[in-house]
């Protein structure tokens, strides 16, 4: 809003514009995206803490790294690209390449580490499989890391990515406005460590009181390293759970159980029950025969209803598709406490995603609070 009133930078800039090196845009879903500015030192801080995350996954200077994104003004993998370079990795600049060209590069160069959104990782694997290529066998990828979507912190989604690449998949939660703030480590204990020396976290309940160990709340961050656009007690709208145990890796940084458990902005209410799209993904992904899916919140015969459209594996017979639909309906009813409509599409009918997926549609004109 501030930048819309005072274009292009608003009045959030705390240093002279001449001292600013980088600009990135947030992926706003509506309106003009927010432009976020960094000085050279800010930018170094962003990718240096990110490099620590990559190192915690096991990435080393002997690795060759592909960050598979468009190299537009999205900070998520630009900072990852710089982080990999800071570790001394050989980086393959993959902008402007088609999915076929990226697969070709994975086959022909000794690329051992791949960064991309979870949705794009699954799309790459599906696309390769159609061409008879098994990325797990035919490439040298050993580590993948994922940001932009929470997928890699959802066990079934992670398992699917790991099987597709024959690699270990890691979640990297981050926010343009704050930092690539967290990472899982190779102890794989289910905990997300926070770079609290770069950004100070608070987790607050609905009355803005700090929650204790084991408690859930909204994550609030203060950036400690950024001079161009410093943010104090920035409400992330992300829900996390403070860990009440130590990670076996020995790190003493603040940690959360799992990654970002929910986005407050994504919360939906259906017949009085709160539903997060992430929870639906957690319930759908364990069904290996689901290639892609879509979640539609709609008003059906006067009642709020959830429709899950499922794009089944082409290997299923028609009766197997029916069986899958019934199983999914049962998983969703049990997991959400709500009856959910499941609809099978033809294989390949639903859109695939090369950036962040948009699998959720809300068709209701009046949304209940």
The binding site for its own copies (CB under 8 A) comprises 7-8, 17-24, 35, 37, 40, 61-62, 69-73, 78, 85, 88-97, 108-110
The residue (of 110 and 314) whose beta carbon lies closer to its own copies is 110
The pair of structure tokens assigned to 328 is: 């999914």
Residue by residue, DSSP assigns 40-106 as: HHHHHHHHHHHHHHHHHHT--TT-EEEE-S--SS-HHHHHHHHHHHHTT-EEEE-TT--HHHHHHHH
**Nearest to its own copies of 61, 358 (CB atom):** 61
Nearer to its own copies, 17 or 318 (CB): 17
Closer residue to its own copies (CB): 47 or 221: 47
Smallest distance, its own copies to C-beta of residue 62, A: 5
Neighbouring CB atoms inside 10 A of 301's CB total 5
For residue 237, count other CB atoms closer than 10 A to its CB: 16
Residue 292 to residue 346: CA distance in whole angstroms: 11
Positive/negative CA dihedral, 42, 47, 53, 58: negative
Cβ(64)–Cβ(113) under 8 Å? yes
Q: How far is the CB of 283 from its own copies (least distance, A)?
A: 33
Bridge partner list, 222: 200
Rounded Cα distance between 317 and 301, Å, is 31
Least distance in angstroms from the C-beta of 5 to its own copies: 14
Q: How far is the CB of 119 from its own copies (least distance, A)?
A: 16
Least distance (Å) between residue 60 CB and its own copies: 9
**Residue whose CB is less far from its own copies, 61 or 299:** 61
Phi, psi (rounded to 5 degrees) for 77: -105, -15
What's the closest the beta carbon of residue 290 comes to its own copies, in angstroms? 29
The H or E element that residue 202 is part of is strand 199-204
| 97/316 with CB nearer its own copies | 97
Residue with Cβ nearer its own copies (90 or 307):
90
Which residues are within 8 A (CB) of 85 and not within 5 positions of it... i.e. 6 or more apart?
91
Q: How far is the CB of 103 from its own copies (least distance, A)?
A: 15
């Amino acid at each position: 809003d501030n930048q819309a009133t005072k274009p292009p930078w608003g009045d959030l800039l705390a240093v002279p514009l001449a001292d600013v090196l980088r600009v990135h845009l947030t992926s706003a879903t509506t309106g003009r995206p927010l432009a976020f500015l960094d000085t050279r030192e800010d930018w170094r801080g962003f990718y240096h803490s990110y490099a620590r995350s990559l190192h915690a996954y096991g990435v080393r200077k002997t690795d060759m790294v592909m960050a598979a994104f468009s190299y537009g003004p999205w900070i998520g993998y630009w900072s990852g690209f710089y982080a990999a370079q800071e570790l001394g990795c050989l980086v393959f600049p993959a902008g402007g390449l088609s999915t076929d060209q990226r697969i070709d590069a994975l086959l022909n160069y000794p690329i051992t580490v791949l960064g991309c959104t979870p949705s794009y990782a699954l799309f790459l694997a599906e696309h390769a499989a159609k061409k008879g290529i098994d990325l797990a066998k035919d490439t040298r990828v050993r580590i993948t890391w994922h940001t932009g979507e929470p997928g890699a912190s959802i066990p079934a989604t992670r398992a699917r990515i790991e099987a597709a690449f024959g690699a270990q998949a890691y979640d990297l939660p981050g926010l343009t406005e704050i930092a690539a703030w967290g990472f899982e480590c190779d102890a794989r204990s289910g905990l997300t460590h926070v770079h609290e020396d770069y950004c100070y976290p608070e987790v607050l309940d609905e009355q803005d009181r700090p929650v204790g160990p084991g408690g859930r709340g909204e994550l609030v961050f203060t950036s400690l390293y950024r001079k161009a656009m410093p943010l104090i007690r920035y409400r992330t709208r992300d829900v996390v759970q403070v860990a009440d145990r130590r990670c076996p890796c020995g790190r003493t940084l603040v940690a959360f159980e799992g990654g970002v458990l929910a986005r407050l902005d994504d919360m939906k209410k259906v017949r009085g029950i709160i539903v997060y799209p992430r929870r639906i993904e957690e319930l759908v992904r364990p069904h290996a025969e689901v290639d892609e899916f879509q979640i539609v919140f709609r008003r059906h015969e006067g009642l709020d209803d959830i429709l899950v459209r499922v794009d089944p594996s082409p290997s299923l017979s028609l009766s197997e598709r029916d069986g899958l639909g019934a199983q999914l309906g049962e998983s969703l009813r049990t997991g959400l406490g709500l009856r959910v409509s499941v609809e099978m599409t033809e294989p390949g009918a639903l859109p695939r995603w090369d950036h962040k997926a948009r699998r959720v549609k809300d068709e209701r004109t009046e949304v209940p609070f």
